[in-house]
Amino acid sequence: MQPTTEPRNAILVEKTPLETYVPPAKPSLIGLSRTELADRLGEIGVAPAQRKMRVQQLWHWLYFRGAQNFDEMTSISKGIRAELAQHFTVDRPEVVAEQISNDGTRKWLLRLPSGDNVQKAHEVECVYIPETDRGTLCVSSQVGCTLNCSFCHTGTQRLVRNLTAGEIVGQVMVARDRLNDWADREDGTRRVTNIVMMGMGEPLYNFDAVRDALLIVGDNEGIGISRRRITLSTSGVVPNIVRAGEEIGVMLAISLHAVRDELRNELVPLNRKYPIKELLQACRDYPGASNARRITFEYVMLKGVNDSLDDAKLLVKMLKGIPAKINLIPFNPWPGTAYECSDWDQIEKFSEYVFNAGYSSPVRTPRGRDILAACGQLKSETEKLSARERQALRAMAMTD
Ligand code: SAH
Ligand code: SF4
């Protein structure tokens, strides 16, 4: 995606130009709740008394077995399968590129309909990070982000649109497809064991779709990833934090990054709307937070900006009374940024201080940096298209 990194990466899927995008002709059933599936079955003539059983079957084929077409769904009658195929698909977002990092991290570039203009496409990224004891999928919630955090690559891309629930669940399904990770895997183990809503976008500014998608991902008759293994990261949309606990019930991560409002206003501009004190109160009120279910505070390590021992001291002080762990993230550079990652011994000193004060303080190992797949490096080409569009518009305005 970025010219500086392109030659080193394996791009396994031939990338077609955005301009040649052909939108899907029929809607996909992916992302629908059981009630919505029952309604669709009603639309194709399935009798009310049969719908519940058919929904159970469909759910199993879609989300437990990962069926990629209706023909596979052999427990459903041929007639209904044919009707379904005539009106719907089980398509996931289209994979237009797959890159594999030297460390095994995989990044998929996915193409989606633009929503408002069927001839145009949008793109998002989704990243799989294998570790010895788990495999984490980093999922996007929006194309771009409205929030412009100064150290984040995604923030430099203007928001194009919210993803639908189907496009969010679809990312998990794409990963399971590409990793051969559905229920019938011979060894019975799982590759995708954890989900983090830490890709492109602010999940709490796309609340309903993120909620609906995560309820499907966590459903134990389907994809079945437990809510304790799903983490939602927010830059601090205070009014939706408690709601997330009540309506989704997943683990919470807060992108804190600074301990003083003055600096946080600069790094995470949303802080001007919801300052640190209000943010921490929402964390205190988060339903289900306990020592067994701690809230993660993410803290990006920026050289000379937020990495002093005074910052560490204040951090420990302000988290008092909140069941918390602290995740230190070495800053991942991207083309054009003015920030630098803190020196390694400073990160260690910071981590040690926090650890000695009684908090778990792991330093997140940067993964997939060579393919710009690490935290904050995601950015899709959609903006490039819109830049071209803007240029075309300017040219048109000049000729008017
Ligand atoms: N919008 C949400 C989730 C996506 S960002 C949020 O901000 O929480 C996931 C994490 O990566 C956040 O903690 C974010 O602050 C962090 N991040 C962003 N840019 C980064 C960068 N360049 N280096 C390291 N971490 C970064
Ligand atoms: Fe958006 Fe999160 Fe990046 Fe901030 S850090 S710009 S909220 S994606």
Q: How confident is the model over 99-126, as pLDDT tens digits?
A: 898 888 999 999 988 766 656 788 899 9
**Given this model, what pLDDT does residue 388 score?**
43
Q: What is the mean pLDDT of residues 223-239?
A: 97
Backbone angles phi, psi at 109, to 5 degrees: -100, 125
- Structural domains for the chain: 34-87 (1.10.150), 94-399 (3.20.20.70)
Q: Is 202 helix (H, G, I), strand (E, B) or coil?
A: coil
- Secondary structure of residue 111 in the 3-state scheme: strand
User: Which residues belong to the active site?
Assistant: 125, 375
In this predicted structure, what is the pLDDT of residue 117?
62
How many angstroms separate the alpha carbon of residue 342 from the centre of ligand 1?
Answer: 16
Strand 106-113 with 121-130, pairing = antiparallel
> Within 6 Å (CB) of ligand 1, which residues are found?
149, 151-153, 198, 202, 233-235, 255, 298, 300, 329, 331-332, 375-376
**What DSSP letter does each residue of 43-83 carry, written as one string?**
HTT--HHHHHHHHHHHHIIIIIS--SSGGG-TTS-HHHHHH
200 CA distance to ligand 2 centroid (A)? 7
**CA 239 to chain centroid:** 20
At 61, which amino acid appears?
Answer: W
pLDDT reading at 134 higher than 90: yes
Task: Output 395 or 188, whichever has higher pLDDT.
Answer: 188
What's the CA gap between 262 and 83, in Å, rounded? 59
| CA pair distance 23, 265, nearest whole angstrom | 40
Rounded average pLDDT over 307-315? 98
By the 8 A CB rule, do 312 and 299 touch? Answer: no
User: Per-residue b/e over 35-58, b at no fewer than 16 CB within 10 Å?
Assistant: eebbebbeeeebeeeebeebbeeb
> Which of 147, 204, 237, 255 to mutate for ligand 1's pocket (most ligand atoms within 8 Å of CB)?
255
pLDDT of residue 333: 86
Q: Extract the tokens encoding 48.
A: 């009310």
Mean pLDDT confidence for 61-69 = 96
Mean pLDDT estimate for the chain:
88
pLDDT value of position 322:
96
Report, as an integer, the average pLDDT of 217-227: 96
Per-residue pLDDT at 386: 44
Query: How much is the pLDDT for 366?
Result: 74
pTM: 0.90
pLDDT tens profile 181-213? 998 777 778 899 999 999 999 999 999 999 999
Query: If you measure from the C-alpha of residue 366 to the centroid of ligand 1, how many angstroms do you get, rounded to a whole number?
Result: 12
Three-class SS state of 154: helix
Are β-strands 230-234 and 194-197 bridged in parallel, bridged antiparallel, or unpaired?
parallel
